[in-house]
Structure 1
Amino acid sequence: MISIAWVTGAGGLIGSHIVQAGRALAPTWTLAPITRAHFDLADFRAVRGAFHSAKPGLVIHCAAMSRSPACEADPKEARRQNVEITRCLAEAAADIPFLFFSTDQVFDGRTGDYDEDAPVNPIGVYGATKAEAEAIVLANPRHMVIRTSLNGGRSPTGDRGFNEQMLRAWSRGQTLNLFEDEFRSPIHARFTAATAWRIALEGKAGVYHVAGAEKLSRWEIGELMSRRWPELKPRTRKTSLRDYSGAPRPPDTTLNIAKALRLPGVELPRFSDWLRGEPPGSF
């Protein structure tokens, strides 16, 4: 019997890396990448019909409205994309494993080093929609949630990884304003994807934090990147959240990844160590 794995958001950064990693890590599964070209996930009748026809044995749900400014500008659409689509898929997948990608933005950022049991308290629309979707997913004892942080890598559109955005700006001669007091746990999407497959195939329900093993400010990330690509003549300007007046930004959403690291074969390196040893062309 053929085992089919749906991967939504396969045209994005993490989704595309899930598909790539699955070819090596899940060779007994037939991968079904789902993008907007296949059908609109917000067309719930079409989703249910496709699900009934394909009968997948696993769903990895990466698709999302993930840009915080867009979510703040249109909360209704953010909720449709992040909550209602997730609800539809989770209900269709009620009897099979379902892995949902969430975010470190479900936390308010007051403390950092959040483990899986820390209470969520989002301060922005994006985080709030993801927290609501998490609750829907976790109501099913077979389902799983991955919270991840700032992901980099090469995306099909060339603009989904934080590295792609930074390198593009520098190549255009732009100066990047980077917060010295906003902290994340950056990770290459290939490590996120490989860990997601370990979790999905392990089949143990619950929440997992999948991120880099290093706390870095936006400014520190920029410094590491600029030293790696000096030929772009990178220009950065150190800024502070104290002087910021835009959409809410939690200051420290670093994730504790001890639980994920206990799984066999999981590798979640320090971003600075990985970047130092990686050929520039792969990032």
Structure 2
Amino acid sequence: MQTTVIAGVDSVVGANLLAELRSHASVAGIVTSGPAITLPGCSVEVCSDQSTEAVRRLLQRLRPSRLVVCGPGAASCWDESLRPSAAGAQQTRNWIEAAAVENLPLTLISSDAVFTGPWMFHPETSQSWCPSPEAVVLRQLEDYALEQSPQTLILRTHAFGWTPGDRGGWLERMVDRLTTGHPLPVDCFRHASPILASDIPELLIRIWAEGLAGVYHLAGAERINPVTFLRKLAVQFGLPQPQFVTTESPASRVQGFGGGETSLQTRKLRRELGAGLPLLTEGLRRLYQQQESGYRALLQNAAGRPSRVA
């Protein structure tokens, strides 16, 4: 059976890909930067040596038919605790190089935060680049992946969802603050088009079936800022409406990484798939159902001993 290897299953996108794809195909997860995780029915390894040669040996042993890399671009730019670093970028370059040498189809998860305003709903060809060092690093990774192999697929997105393990992430912190009534330190100036991370796998299966390559935007159908997002989240979860601590003003808007307009136009992908992309209200409803059904607990109890250490 052909196997898909997902590097970065310790991320929100990677963990949800692993959890959802395991019912459709053989998948193997690689932990690249966080604590070890384990999911029933999944092979998961910790890759402590991420040099190009070490990654090549790992891929030669696993013999996958496809590689998905959830590197620094897979994190939501609204989570200011997660920012692309030089070390993370170099590790991603090594995975890209190894995939090219092994002639392995590569899917690289990238970020909407390569863009900034004033324009909204950036198409794939938008030149409204964010000048921050972090955004420059992500664009360089995209360019490098495309240079290494013409079969590379790059998906820019802005995913939200439950974080694997017990460390929690931006979403968990926001839900905790909503539950306790603590004021939320967010602004209303940045805008994105978020998509539930667990909605990505089904779309990704269709994208692979179509044999798409190049750059595509995979995002939600609604443009929204963090303030409105959290208000809608509170309604869906039956929590009190939040209080906000906002220090920015229209004259002093956040201009850094993810601080501006990063909403994505998805017309190119919708045309290829012949289908629309999910509304935020649909994603939030499924997010709540995941909490009630045990899906959240499955991901957050995933900390454990991996099957192997590479």
Please indicate the TM-score interval, normalised by the length of the shorter structure: 0.7 to 0.9
In the alignment, does 2:55 pair up with 1:56? no
Which letter maps to 2:88? Q
Q: Deviations over 1:159-218 (max 9, x none)?
A: 666432310222344211322221110111111232223223432211110111011112
Q: How much is the aligned-residue C-alpha RMSD, in angstroms?
A: 2.7
Aligned residues of 2:5 and 2:27 also touching (Cα < 8 A):
yes
Q: Is the 8 A contact 2:130 2:257 kept in 1?
A: no
CA contact (8 A) 1:120 1:131 kept: no
Query: Which amino acid in structure 2 is aligned with residue 100 of structure 1?
Result: L
What is the alpha-carbon distance in structure 2 between the residues aligned to residue 43 and residue 172 of structure 1?
44
Once residues 214 and 196 of structure 1 are traced to their aligned partners in structure 2, the CA distance between those partners, rounded to angstroms, is 19
Select the residue among 238, 254, 274 that pairs with 2:263: 254
Return the TM-score normalized by structure 2: 0.77
Per the TM alignment, residue 246 of structure 1 is displaced from its structure 2 partner at its CA by: 8.3
Would you say 1:224 and 2:224 are equivalent positions?
Answer: no
Q: C-alpha separation between the residues in 1 aligned to 2:144 and 2:128? A: 14
Q: Which moved more, 1:264-273 or 1:98-107?
A: 264-273
In structure 2, distance between residues paired with 1:214 and 1:41: 40
Q: 1:46 to 1:172 in 2, by over 3 A?
A: farther
Deviation, 1:143, is 0.6
Distance 1:253 1:230 in 2: 29
Structure 1 residue 59: Cα displacement: 0.3
Correspondence 1:51-130 to 2 at 5 A: 51-64=59-72, 66=75, 69=80, 78-82=85-89, 84-94=90-100, 95-119=103-127, 121-130=129-138
Contact 1:152 1:187 in 2 (8 A): yes
C-alpha distance in structure 2 between counterparts of 1:257 and 1:204, whole Å:
14
In structure 1, distance between residues paired with 2:286 and 2:60: 43
Are the aligned partners of 1:122 and 1:131 in contact in 2 as well (CA < 8 Å)?
Answer: no
Task: Indicate yes or no: 2:143 matched with 1:147.
Answer: no
Amino acid at match of 1:80: A
1:203 aligns with 2:215: no
The yes-or-no answer on 1:212 pairing with 2:206 is no
Q: How many residues align?
A: 272
2:36 pairs with 1:5:
no
Contact 1:175 1:237 in 2 (8 A): yes
* Deviation of the 1:145 alpha carbon: 0.2
- Contact preservation (8 Å) 2:119, 2:128: no
The one-character-per-residue Cα deviations of 1:53-81 (angstroms, maximum 9, x if unpaired) are: 22222000013374765677xx7xx1221
Task: Give identity over the alignment, percent.
Answer: 24
Give the corresponding residue for 1:31.
Answer: 27
Amino acid at match of 1:32: A
- Pairwise CA distance, 1:15: 0.6
SS at match of 1:177: coil
Distance in 2, matches of 1:113 and 1:234, equals 27
Residue equivalent to 1:171: 179
Question: Does the 8 Å contact 1:107/1:122 carry over to 2?
Answer: yes
Structure 2 residue runs without a partner (length 5+): 37-45, 292-310
Please state how far the C-alpha of 1:271 moved relative to its aligned partner. Answer: 0.4
Contact 1:6 1:56 in 2 (8 A): yes
SS at match of 1:145: strand
CA contact (8 A) 2:231 2:241 kept: no
Aligned equivalents of 1:234, 1:159: Cα separation in 2 = 23
* Structure 1 spans left out of the alignment, 5+ residues: none
CA–CA distance in structure 1, aligned partners of residues 62 and 235 of structure 2? 48
Equivalent position amino acid for 1:212 in 2? G
Cα deviations by residue, 1:191-249 (Å, 9 ceiling, x for unpaired): 12322232234322111101110111121112212223344563324553544578554
Instruction: Evaluate the alpha carbon distance shift between residue 20 and residue 102 of structure 1 in structure 2; reply closer, same or farther with a 3 A threshold.
Output: same
Q: Distance in 2 between matches of 1:70 and 1:225?
A: 21
Deviation larger for 112-121 or 263-272: 263-272
Paired residues of 1:108 and 1:122 also in contact (CA < 8 A): yes
After TM superposition, give the deviation of residue 130 of structure 1 in Å: 1.0
Task: Give the conservation status (yes or no) of the 8 Å contact 2:146–2:152.
Answer: yes
CA drift at 1:258 = 1.3
Deviations 1:14-55 (A, max 9, x none): 11111122134x43xx21111144212534332122122222
CA distance in 2, matches of 1:159, 1:232: 24
The structure whose residues are more often strand, as a share, is 1
